[in-house]
């Protein structure tokens, strides 16, 4: 996610802004910028790359005098990393400056309307639209302009705003993106997160959705979305800086698991409009979609596991043949690709060497390529013919969770789009699918709230030697990811198996007490998998079943059951994976492993 800071007080603002941004670097970013009111103008300075470049450019802020300013570290979502796209963004006469964290879902529509009113844009960002919209509504009263903008924009935002005509004030407003206000002894601050202000104060206000904060050198006033003044209580922060970077979570992985409802929402909502799937960045005509002969999905690790799920969804919903390959295999097997094929490369980092090589192999063979990528401007994002971003924000933990969940919903959207264009599903079915998709965030939240029960169960298996995950169809894909999560962060040996395959060898490994996680979310396969469970328990296995709410029949066969809420059969991976993530996390913690940085692993495998 992006990082926002703001300061107004007795000290020089620029050094404080740079220092605050440095405490937000953990949020991930690819460019940075600050704007300071110098007594006459709001001066901006931006740079791409590390924050160090901005500090050098401004001589640690010395070249930007003034005691009021806003700053930003940008994690690119709309528009590649560049000076033009870096924040702060300004209106045309530079009398308004804005920094933003979040996603303005209707920015293209607003941008079009503003362009019709002769507004000109210098960036590809959704944030610049906010700067011009504030300009459009500003008639001398900043609160009035801000509230009008709040009523027009859709999506998530945390905004820091300055108006040249109101030099002694920094404004802040948020909806669904984090923002806090710090009350310091020689000035007041805004920030995306607590670490940025801890050096100056532990006395903070947590702004609620659609509340506005107005900071002067020695006062802080709050307003609601109707422009009425409201009273707020401050809180004393007793976290240390390290805990604060994880927003109070013990590990980044846990924090990112809990961000999954938001990343699913952020990846879905901008692409669902009036009950239809709108994927502007796809750049494929209905004609081209209709002519796709075969889809090749290529990826590594967890991204590959989402690809295996996508195979079932594309083939089941859109009736398009799909082949899923591990990138390290695809790139060397001289794959048979034809002109009407589509190659989809899935990658969180967009830098995985094998996946990048697979992309280049597909392009060498003249086939259309689409990247489903999280890091904007990464190699795969840049080199694929088209890219569909998963707006999950930076993922710090080596073990992916929120990017995995965002990849799944991106693939579901693509399958729905393709199925509808190819006449395989009706508009009514599309609406039903989208309704189910938009329920996923709250269902994930509900599953995450179940963590104590899973933690208690996990503690029984911290000394396990072998753990197996089994399932059929999409449940097999879920098992693959559940198994990888466990082994990569707890170092316990684990394997995923197609449940029907156990009797062809693996079942010989089952001993008294061996833990087997059986995933049963595909109703038409319940009975088959239950018979596999009986095979397992009759040989001494302890079976944990993850299944749909209501499938109580399972309690006769399995030893321990975790239920997931009802959703469409194609989307169950998004829910069943949550308890498996939590299980792996708590086993790893129980074993004292380095959850966020497991041994031997890297967040992005940029070597073969
Ligand atoms: C998943 O938890 C692992 N970190 C790993 O399998 C990862 O999914 C794989 O290396 C692919 O990375 P990418 O998505 O960045 O290409």
Nearest to 140 by CA among 130, 148, 150: 148
Whether residues 187 and 201 share a domain: the answer is yes
Distance CA(467)–CA(479), nearest Å, equals 11
Instruction: Give the other-Cβ count within 10 Å of 197's Cβ.
Output: 27
- pTM, two decimals, is 0.80
Distance CA(72)–CA(600), nearest Å, equals 34
Whether residues 398 and 545 share a domain: the answer is no
Q: What is the CB-side half-sphere exposure of residue 140 using CA atoms within 13 A?
A: 0
Q: Which of the listed residues 431, 447, 463 is the one where a domain comes to its end?
A: 447
Ligand 1 is surrounded, with C-beta below 6 A, by 300-303, 347-349, 352, 355, 398-400, 488, 604-605
Structure tokens at 562: 């975790």
Q: Which residues pair with 121 in a beta bridge?
A: none
Q: Residue range 197-218: average pLDDT?
A: 94
**Domain contains 608:** no
Q: Residue range 464-489: average pLDDT?
A: 97
User: Which ligand 1 atom sits nearest the alpha carbon of residue 299?
Assistant: 16
Q: Residue range 544-569: average pLDDT?
A: 96
Q: Which of the listed residues 238, 271, 299 is the one where a domain comes to its end?
A: 238
Say whether 52 is catalytic.
no
Give phi and psi for 377, each to the nearest 5: 80, 5
Domain that holds residue 503: 451-590
Cα-to-centroid distance, 412 and ligand 1 (Å): 19
**Using alpha carbons only, what angle is made at residue 95 by residues 90 and 99, rounded to the nearest 5 degrees?**
35
Whether residues 441 and 456 share a domain: the answer is no
Name residue, tokens 């020695």.
Answer: 218
- Res 394: pLDDT: 80
pLDDT in tens, 253-273: 999 999 999 999 999 999 999
Q: Indicate the number of domains in the chain.
A: 3
Instruction: Give the other-Cβ count within 10 Å of 603's Cβ.
Output: 17
Residues 6+ apart with CB under 8 A from 293: 321, 338, 340, 341
pLDDT in tens, 227-242: 999 999 998 887 677 7
- Res 470: pLDDT: 98
Whether residues 197 and 110 share a domain: the answer is yes
Whether residues 153 and 290 share a domain: the answer is no
Give phi and psi for 120, each to the nearest 5: -115, 145
Nearest to 580 by CA among 405, 414, 428: 405
Say whether 2 is catalytic.
yes
Whether residues 539 and 560 share a domain: the answer is yes
Q: Whose CA is nearest to atom 6 of ligand 1?
A: 301
- Res 600: pLDDT: 84
Q: Residue range 466-489: average pLDDT?
A: 98
Mean pLDDT (the chain, rounded): 94
Q: Catalytic one among 232, 363, 365, 603?
A: 603
DSSP conformation class of 176:
B
Q: Whose CA is nearest to atom 2 of ligand 1?
A: 399
Whether residues 233 and 292 share a domain: the answer is no
Whether residues 159 and 289 share a domain: the answer is no
**Domain contains 207:** yes
Q: Residue range 32-52: average pLDDT?
A: 96
Q: Catalytic one among 2, 246, 417, 593?
A: 2
- Res 608: pLDDT: 72
Instruction: Decide if pLDDT at 247 tops 80.
Output: no
DSSP-based three-state secondary structure for 518: strand
Please give the share of the chain, as a percent, with pLDDT higher than 90: 86
CATH number, domain of 534, equals 3.40.50.10490
Whether residues 136 and 39 share a domain: the answer is yes
Instruction: Decide if pLDDT at 45 tops 80.
Output: yes
Q: Residue range 504-511: average pLDDT?
A: 92
- Res 244: pLDDT: 66
Instruction: Decide if pLDDT at 145 tops 70.
Output: yes
Q: Whose CA is nearest to atom 5 of ligand 1?
A: 301
Q: Quick one: pLDDT band at residue 193, thresholds 50, 70, 90?
A: confident
pLDDT in tens, 277-325: 999 899 899 999 999 999 999 999 999 999 999 999 999 999 999 999 9
- Higher pLDDT, residue 12 or 503: 12
Q: Whose CA is nearest to atom 16 of ligand 1?
A: 347
Cα-to-centroid distance, 26 and ligand 1 (Å): 19
Q: Whose CA is nearest to atom 4 of ligand 1?
A: 399
CB 48 within 8 A of CB 267: no
Q: Quick one: pLDDT band at residue 393, thresholds 50, 70, 90?
A: confident
Instruction: Decide if pLDDT at 526 tops 80.
Output: yes
Whether residues 427 and 459 share a domain: the answer is no
Cα-to-centroid distance, 348 and ligand 1 (Å): 7
- Res 108: pLDDT: 94
Cα-to-centroid distance, 301 and ligand 1 (Å): 5
**Domain contains 602:** no
Give phi and psi for 572, each to the nearest 5: -65, -25
Instruction: Decide if pLDDT at 601 tops 90.
Output: no
- Res 243: pLDDT: 64
- Res 599: pLDDT: 85
User: Which ligand 1 atom sits nearest the alpha carbon of residue 380?
Assistant: 16
- Higher pLDDT, residue 10 or 76: 10
């Amino acid at each position: 996610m992006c990082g926002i800071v703001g300061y107004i007080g007795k000290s020089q603002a620029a050094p404080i802004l740079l220092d605050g941004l440095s405490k937000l670097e953990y949020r991930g970013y690819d460019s940075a910028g600050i704007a300071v009111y110098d007594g006459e103008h709001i001066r901006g300075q931006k740079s791409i790359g590390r924050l160090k470049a901005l500090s050098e450019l401004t001589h640690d802020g010395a070249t930007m005098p003034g005691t009021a300013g806003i700053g930003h570290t940008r994690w690119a979502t709309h528009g590649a990393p560049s000076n033009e796209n870096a924040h702060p963004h300004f209106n045309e006469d530079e009398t308004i400056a804005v920094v933003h964290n979040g996603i303005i879902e209707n920015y293209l529509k607003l941008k079009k309307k503003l362009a019709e009113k002769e507004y000109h844009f210098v960036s590809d960002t959704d944030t610049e639209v906010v700067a011009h919209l504030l300009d459009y509504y500003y008639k001398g009263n900043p609160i009035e302009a801000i509230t009008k903008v709040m009523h027009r924009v859709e999506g998530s935002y945390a905004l820091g705003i300055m108006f040249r005509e109101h030099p002694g004030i920094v404004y802040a407003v948020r909806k669904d993106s984090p923002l806090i206000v710090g009350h310091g002894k020689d000035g007041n601050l805004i920030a995306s997160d607590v670490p940025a202000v801890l050096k100056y104060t532990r006395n903070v206000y947590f702004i609620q959705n659609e509340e506005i904060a107005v900071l002067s050198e020695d006062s802080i006033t709050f307003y609601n979305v109707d422009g009425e003044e409201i009273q707020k209580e401050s809180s004393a922060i007793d976290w240390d800086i390290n805990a604060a970077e994880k927003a109070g979570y013990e590990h980044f992985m846990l924090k990112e698991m809990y961000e999954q409802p938001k990343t699913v929402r952020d990846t879905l909502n901008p692409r669902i409009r009036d009950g239809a799937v709108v994927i502007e960045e796809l750049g494929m005509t209905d004609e081209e979609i209709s002519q796709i002969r075969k889809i090749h999905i290529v990826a590594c690790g967890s991204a590959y596991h989402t690809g295996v799920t996508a195979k079932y969804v594309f083939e089941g919903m859109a009736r398009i043949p799909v082949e899923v390959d591990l990138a390290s295999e695809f790139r060397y097997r001289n794959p048979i690709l034809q002109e009407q094929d589509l190659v989809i490369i899935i990658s969180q980092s967009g830098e995985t060497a094998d996946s990048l090589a697979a992309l280049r192999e597909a392009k060498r063979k003249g086939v259309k390529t689409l990247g489903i990528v999280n890091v904007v401007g990464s190699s795969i994002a840049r080199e694929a013919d088209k890219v569909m971003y998963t707006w999950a924000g930076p993922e710090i933990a080596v073990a992916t969770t929120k990017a995995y969940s965002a990849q799944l919903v991106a693939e579901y959207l693509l399958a729905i789009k393709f199925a509808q264009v190819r006449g395989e599903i009706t508009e009514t079915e599309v609406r039903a699918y989208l309704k189910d998709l938009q329920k996923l965030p709250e269902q994930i939240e509900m599953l995450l709230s179940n963590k104590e029960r899973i933690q208690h169960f996990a503690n029984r298996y911290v000394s396990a030697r072998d753990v197996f995950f089994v399932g059929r169809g999409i449940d097999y894909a879920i098992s693959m990811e559940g198994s990888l999560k466990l082994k990569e962060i707890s170092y316990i040996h684990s394997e995923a198996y197609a449940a029907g395959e156990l009797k062809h060898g693996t079942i010989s490994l089952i001993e008294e007490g061996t833990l087997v996680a059986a995933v049963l979310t595909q109703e038409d396969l319940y009975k088959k998998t239950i018979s596999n469970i009986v095979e397992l328990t009759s040989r001494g296995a302890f079976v944990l079943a993850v299944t749909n709410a209501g499938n109580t029949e399972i309690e006769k066969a399995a030893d321990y059951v975790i239920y997931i809420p009802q959703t469409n059969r194609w989307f169950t991976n998004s829910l069943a994976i949550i308890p498996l993530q939590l299980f792996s996390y708590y086993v790893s913690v129980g074993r004292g492993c380095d959850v966020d940085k497991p041994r031997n692993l890297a967040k992005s495998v940029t070597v073969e």
